[in-house]
Amino acid sequence: MKQTILVILTISIFFGCKQNNNKTKPVTSIEITEEPKGVENIAFKWGKMALNAQANDTERFSPRPTVTSRYLGLIFVSIFDAWSRFDDKAIPVYLKDIDRRPINEQTLSNKEIAISYAAFGAMNEYYYSDKAMFAEFMIELGLDPTNTSLDPNTPEGIGNLAAKAVIEARKGDGANQYGEEEGSNGTPYFDYIGYSPVNSPDENIDPDRWQPKYFSDGKGGKYAPGCLTPFWDKVKPIALKSADQFRPGPPPKIGSEQMEKEVQEVIDLQTNLTDYQKALVEFMRDGPKSVQQAGHWLKFAQDISKRDDHTLDQDVKMYFYNQIVAMDAFIANWDSKMYYDSARPYALVHEYYDGKIIKAWAGEGKGMKDMDGSEWQPYSPSIFLCPPFPSYTSGHSTISGGCAEALKIWTGSEVFGSEAVMVAGALTEPNHLGDTITLKFPTFTETSEMAGISRVLGGYHIQSDNIAGLELGRNIARENWKFYKEHIGESNQI
């Protein structure tokens, strides 16, 4: 993609230098300013602000990757819609009946103002606990955070209108953000479908179905968390026709040769975990500052912005595509999870190896030990041993497959080149650290596959969950590309 360089010419002509012949001579001053790129462009800065808010949300409300994927998706739709009114051909998603601004108003300054107010308004709605942080950032940008104008003839008004349009359009979209869905009790994100697992933490009636598991509460007790947002398959996608548009075929069942092989693979991989693999599991599990999967791939997208010195226009478009893929991928992923309601390795290993001695990780500070198969656990802290929802397909694989494919399509190249440094064990057994590991991500596809296999290495998924998830995500990215191309006003073909 071509990079646009904005050159601002400021010509000052002034008279006042007296010459010997008593005539004045014009003096011309030309100042050339290049458009801010990479980390300096305003779209990048708002992306970084969104990541900070995402990390804060995880800390305040515990991991809720479905909910926050919607936040990020809608924030970047808001930014895109505001920006579209200052582009010569882009079409907004939700901002209706607001005219495109004339060519002389399609300036960098107006774009910066419009997307800032859109981002500010959307982030105040979704990451409401950080309103003070957003207001402070607006002031740093020289903008008035109290300006609530809805004048469609000004960039401030267009930004505010874009945020308002997205917020209004997504009320009643199935997310139950306001506790408004039928069957709810008025509590945000309340389970209005009344999902109840077949199995209890103490009794596994149907071992092919999901079983909740006990976690440590960090205070000497234990609890079994319920299923996270079991209604998320009911959320309206941004670009997909329906949540089940690309639903994969069924996972293997207990008693099949494939299931037996894949459960054994999980045991074998854990038994032989290297420091490199531990670092990979931890990096992909928690990501940078625990920003969840959508945030993780927003961070990867920002690595591309830095690498390629993106302009504001480029970042607005890339983040928009990247994050609507992540949002839709979570919806489709939950469709698969709730439709199949499949068991995780935590229960599967217990089912297959109860009464049999295996070598496995015994918990922090205990290393690998011989134990009864009923004692097996994932390589994870006791306070969050396993994601509390059904297994098939893997969320990490689906979102990573989708976002990696999106970045590959958008950049026109497989080349990535990002790196991350981790100390093995730091997030799982901090008192028993391993080596310092540099994780290298040479291509987008390899990065998605590293994310996917990390979930098998960690003991959260069997291989079928991973493979089907990667393919599901890639299908979503290809489908959403058509939507993206339509909204930037270009051909809808890859």
Single out the residue of 379, 153, 152 nearest to residue 279, CA to CA. 379
Domain assignment present for 215: no
pLDDT at res. 218: 87
Task: Say if residue 384's pLDDT is above 80.
Answer: yes
Mean pLDDT of the chain: 92
Domain assignment present for 208: no
Number of domains in the chain: 1
Centre a 10 Å sphere on the Cβ of residue 67 and count the other Cβ atoms it contains: 22
pLDDT at res. 147: 98
- From residue 461, alpha-carbon distances to 313, 396, 465 in Å are 39, 10, 6
The SS3 call for residue 456 is helix
Reported as a pLDDT band with limits 50, 70 and 90, residue 34 is: confident
Task: Say if residue 89's pLDDT is above 50.
Answer: yes
pLDDT at res. 25: 43
Over range 83-106, report the average pLDDT: 97
How do residues 245-290 score in pLDDT, each as one tens digit? 999 999 999 999 999 999 999 999 999 999 999 999 999 998 567 8
Q: Which residues of 88-103 are buried (b: 16+ CB within 10 A; e: fewer)?
A: eebebbbbeebebbee
Residues with Cβ within 8 Å of residue 229, at least 6 apart in sequence? 64, 66, 67, 189, 191, 334, 389
Domain assignment present for 450: yes
Q: What is the CATH number of the domain that holds 451?
A: 1.10.606.20
Q: What is the pTM of this model?
A: 0.92
Task: Say if residue 28's pLDDT is above 90.
Answer: no
Task: Say if residue 487's pLDDT is above 90.
Answer: yes
Burial status of residue 367 (CB atoms within 10 A of its CB: 0-12, 13-18, 19 or more): exposed
Task: Say if residue 296's pLDDT is above 90.
Answer: yes
Domain assignment present for 28: no
Residue type, 375: E
Single out the residue of 296, 301, 289 nearest to residue 43, CA to CA. 301
Domain extent, residue 464, equals 253-487
Q: Which residues of 107-136 are buried (b: 16+ CB within 10 A; e: fewer)?
A: ebebbbbbbbbbbbbbbbbbbeebeeebbe
| CB distance 484 to 477 below 8 Å | no
Task: Say if residue 6's pLDDT is above 80.
Answer: no
Helices 65-84 and 312-340, packing angle to 10 deg: 150
pLDDT at res. 301: 98
Over range 142-162, report the average pLDDT: 98
Residue type, 492: N
pLDDT at res. 19: 39
- Which H or E element spans position 369? strand 368-372
The residues that bridge with 74 in the sheet, in sequence order, are none
Domain assignment present for 224: no
How do residues 96-135 score in pLDDT, each as one tens digit? 999 999 999 999 999 999 999 999 999 999 999 999 999 9
pLDDT at res. 288: 60
Over range 365-375, report the average pLDDT: 95
Percentage of the chain surpassing pLDDT 90? 89
> How many residues does the structure list for the chain?
494
Domain assignment present for 257: yes
More confident residue, 385 or 450: 450
Domain assignment present for 344: yes
Domain assignment present for 132: no
Q: Checking phi first, is residue 309 left (phi over 0); if not, alpha (psi -120 to 50) or beta? A: left
The SS3 call for residue 153 is coil
| CB distance 116 to 79 below 8 Å | no
How do residues 307-340 score in pLDDT, each as one tens digit? 999 999 999 999 999 999 999 999 999 999 999 9
- From residue 438, alpha-carbon distances to 52, 82, 380, 415 in Å are 24, 39, 20, 18
pLDDT at res. 173: 98
